[in-house]
A and B are shown apart, each in its own frame.
Chain A
Amino acid sequence: MRRQMSQDRSWYFPFMDALTVHRLHFAFTATFHYIFPQLTMGLALLILILKTLALRTGGEHYNRAARFWARIFAVNFAMGVVTGIPMEFQFGTNWARFSKAAGGVIGQTLAMEGVFSFFLESSFLGVFLFGEKRLGPKAHWFAAFLVFAGSWLSGFFIIATDAWMQHPTGYELGKNGEILLTSLSGLLLNPWLFWQYLHNMIGSVVTASFVMASVGAFYLLGRRSEEYGRTFVRLGVIAGMISTFLMAFPTGDGQGKNVAWHQPATLAAMEGLFETTHGAPLVLIGQPDPEKRRLDNPLAIPRALSFLTYQRWGAEVKGLNEFPPDHWPDNIALLYYSYHIMVGLGTVLIGVMALASLSLWRGRLYGARSLLWLLMLMLPFPYIATTAGWITAEVGRQPWLIYGIMRTPEGVSPHISAGNALFTLIGFMGIYTVLAILFLFLVGREIDEGPEHPVEAHAVTL
């Protein structure tokens, strides 16, 4: 009886197809996961800077500041680890056909991430958090450096995996449709990877800078831990000014050219460009209408898109009409809006940091309460910009799972019904809600206790 039911699938959920649920499943778990690494990777760099300042000045101030951020790092890191393991599993559980075909390639980078980088990062994080007394200042600085190196290496292998899916290199197709890796250097020196990696890592520095400046502003506005508040605001604003600028140029520009060269249909959809145009305008706002193939209510800078893409004001930019609709990204509105949110917020972030840098340079920032309020309230926006950026990258890759090789519906696990996938998606939503509450509670507590709080070991002590 049971056997018959499992073969007849018509009684399974009729209202959502399995492919949609599998895509939402990955999108939700990946988006939630990346809240944590995007802070830790950037914060690792800022902690290294604090440790360098501590070595230079020889005082306890910067060491205490580094310890405070290491505690926040540790909570974020634990969250990143427990939400990261499901990502590796999901390639096999939800995307079995994709894994079967491409496992020989992306399994390489994922395994390297697990073995080299994650191991380096997690073991030296333990050394960094609990070994300060035994190590001495120089060795402790080196532990901070290895945590930084491990997390940035980790990021490299993960971005290498995504870059290969965006722009496959170094492979050949086998007899049974499996994808064989022919060159490891082709995989690791993918031209797409260079700008995507830098753009992503700089984005993570932007997030960490805003978080540090925001916490510093919180202390200054609350008239508590003001000595540390000034340090956090200063480092956050200086690092934020440099990183928001690098975010736009050259990394954002380079990533845009990646898309223009290798995914022209995606570029057209991102910009809402339907007709091929010489001297294409850069659209600031407007609503794309894929049904009628036009952009409603556009507000645009004439010729700017052509110039940004090809450095010539009159250059031709291909519109979506040049491509058959089954090569169009399958959710043009989502792609268009998330891209514009990323770029718009990125511009706002540059503006805020420029304003704060100017005030800092004039020596007025620590007393400028309205500017400090602004810095504090900016906290969520780099997270939103980063998330919108990743939605742009991943929705922009559609309808391909591996660009030009495998379409998304071909990669899904054929035997997992929509009902089963929805069950586990809701399960993840529930457990991640609990994690989010715990995370905010613990981080909020650390911020409330402040940097002066005496160090106590947070891991299990012997």
Chain B
Amino acid sequence: METIWFCLVAVMIAVYVVLDGFDLGAGIIHLFVARTDSERRAVLGSIGPVWDGNEVWLLAGGGTLYFAFPALYASSFSGFYLPLMIVLWLLILRGISIEFRNHIQSPVWQPLWDVVFAGASALLAIFFGAALGNVVRGVPLDASGEFFLPLWTDFTVGMDTGILDWYTILIAVAALLTLIGDGVKGWAAVYLAGRVGAAVGAADWVVAAAALAVFLGHLYPVFHQFAGGKGVSTAAGIVYALHWQLGLALMVVWLASVASTIASIWACRSLPRRDAGSMVAGSVPVFFLYISTACCRTT
């Protein structure tokens, strides 16, 4: 029975990472790739109808974790107290910036929420990445199965661990870059469809269909043991054709994120584990799914 629940939680968290990772990525890049309001609307259009549905996966995963593995839920949520609270504030800011952005047409109101949205998305990507780094490394549990870590260290490579330290920040940067790549992919499809659609006079539904295709493209890897990811290179090709500077920049970003992922896995192996017996071993495979999806989607 535990195994079934474990798989369910793993799938829910993986689906959340895949789906919302795209929302986060789109959130980060839309400020930079889309200059005009209509372009930004196109980017937001690719996530507007789905982002809160995507976030339900986080709630469902959290809820399932809660009743299937209460001890793990209690220990990890209280141990990661400060970063989780910051994640909550960021989720609040991201939610209201999408929902409230289009309530008022004004040259000040919308750019304001665009900046809040991009900032919150980028910081969320960093915090999720740091969470991944922490879980992969493990945390020092005490006799009652609980722990508490400082929010940050002095970032020197050493024995002292914190929630944000040299190692977890490395993973966080990898996550940030991965999700940026993800966002560009979604943006490209919608933007292209919008451009081409406008040129041939097609209806709005073409853009909607493109957004849906991106959405389904994200589901695709889940049903194929996370071996998908060809869509990324396809999209990259399209981006490259459209805008070669952007394509080049993306290629650098992808290479960097692959390199940093490899580096961080290496760092993870070479890191001396102070108290290997008391790590949250059970949760590691969940997040290996997470990292494997992240790796798949960077290749």
Chain B interface: which of A84-92, A235-243, A245-253?
Answer: A84-92
Interface contact A96-B75, CB-CB below 8 Å: yes
Report, as a range, how many residues of chain A touch the other chain: 35 or more
Interface contact B53-A6, CB-CB below 8 Å: no
Interface contact B100-A88, CB-CB below 8 Å: no
Interface contact B66-A85, CB-CB below 8 Å: no
In the complex, which residue of chain B has the Cβ closest to the Cβ of A430? B89
| Interface residue from A103, A113, A119 paired with B70 (Cβ < 8 Å) | A103
In the complex, chain A residues whose CB is within 8 Å of the CB of B92: 82-83, 85-86, 431, 435
Distance from B97 Cβ to chain A, minimum over Cβ atoms (Å): 10
Indicate whether A201 reaches chain B with its CB closer than 8 angstroms.
Answer: no
Report, as a range, how many residues of chain B touch the other chain: 35 or more
| Interface residue from A110, A423, A438 paired with B96 (Cβ < 8 Å) | A438
Interface contact B81-A107, CB-CB below 8 Å: no
Interface contact B150-A6, CB-CB below 8 Å: yes
In the complex, chain A residues whose CB is within 8 Å of the CB of B98: 460
In the complex, chain B residues whose CB is within 8 Å of the CB of A438: 96, 100
Interface contact A442-B70, CB-CB below 8 Å: no
Indicate whether A122 reaches chain B with its CB closer than 8 angstroms.
Answer: yes
Indicate whether A223 reaches chain B with its CB closer than 8 angstroms.
Answer: no
In the complex, chain A residues whose CB is within 8 Å of the CB of B62: 88-89, 114
| Interface residue from A88, A93, A107, A457 paired with B78 (Cβ < 8 Å) | A93
Given that A81-B95, A101-B70 are known contacts, is A442 also in contact with B100, CB under 8 Å in the complex? yes
In the complex, chain A residues whose CB is within 8 Å of the CB of B207: 462
| Interface residue from B81, B88, B91, B211 paired with A420 (Cβ < 8 Å) | B81
Majority-rule SS of B interface residues: helix
| Interface residue from A92, A102, A118, A415 paired with B56 (Cβ < 8 Å) | A118
**Count, A-B residue pairs, CB within 8 A:** 184
Indicate whether B35 reaches chain A with its CB closer than 8 angstroms.
Answer: no
Distance from A235 Cβ to chain B, minimum over Cβ atoms (Å): 25
In the complex, chain B residues whose CB is within 8 Å of the CB of A105: 67
Chain A interface: which of B44-52, B125-133, B215-223, B243-251?
Answer: B44-52
Indicate whether A362 reaches chain B with its CB closer than 8 angstroms.
Answer: no
Given that A92-B76, A92-B78 are known contacts, is A414 also in contact with B146, CB under 8 Å in the complex? yes
In the complex, which residue of chain B has the Cβ closest to the Cβ of A79? B96
In the complex, chain A residues whose CB is within 8 Å of the CB of B269: none
Interface contact A126-B96, CB-CB below 8 Å: no
Indicate whether A405 reaches chain B with its CB closer than 8 angstroms.
Answer: no
Distance from A132 Cβ to chain B, minimum over Cβ atoms (Å): 16
Indicate whether A151 reaches chain B with its CB closer than 8 angstroms.
Answer: no
Majority-rule SS of A interface residues: helix
Whole-angstrom CA separation of A123 from B53 in the bound complex: 7
Given that A82-B95, A107-B70, A416-B78 are known contacts, is A6 also in contact with B148, CB under 8 Å in the complex? yes
Interface contact A103-B96, CB-CB below 8 Å: no
Residues of chain B in range 28-62 having any CB-CB distance to chain A below 8 Å: 41-42, 44-45, 47-49, 52-53, 55-56, 59-60, 62
Residues of chain A in range 383-414 having any CB-CB distance to chain B below 8 Å: 413-414
Interface contact B82-A82, CB-CB below 8 Å: no
Distance from A99 Cβ to chain B, minimum over Cβ atoms (Å): 4
Indicate whether B186 reaches chain A with its CB closer than 8 angstroms.
Answer: no
Indicate whether B192 reaches chain A with its CB closer than 8 angstroms.
Answer: no
| Interface residue from A92, A97, A126 paired with B49 (Cβ < 8 Å) | A126
Whole-angstrom CA separation of A441 from B64 in the bound complex: 37
Whole-angstrom CA separation of A457 from B93 in the bound complex: 21
In the complex, chain A residues whose CB is within 8 Å of the CB of B41: 460-461
Whole-angstrom CA separation of A104 from B67 in the bound complex: 4
| Interface residue from B67, B81, B95 paired with A78 (Cβ < 8 Å) | B95
- Contact digits for A338-362, partner B, Cβ 8 Å, 1 yes 0 no: 0000000000000000000000000
Indicate whether A226 reaches chain B with its CB closer than 8 angstroms.
Answer: no
Distance from B194 Cβ to chain A, minimum over Cβ atoms (Å): 8
Given A415-B79, A445-B103, output 19 extra A-B contacts at Cβ < 8 Å.
Answer: A2-B160, A3-B160, A78-B95, A82-B91, A83-B92, A86-B88, A89-B88, A98-B74, A100-B70, A101-B70, A111-B67, A114-B56, A413-B78, A413-B146, A414-B144, A415-B146, A431-B89, A461-B41, A461-B102
| 5 smallest beta-carbon distances between A and B, as pairs | A107-B67, A103-B70, A92-B77, A111-B63, A460-B48
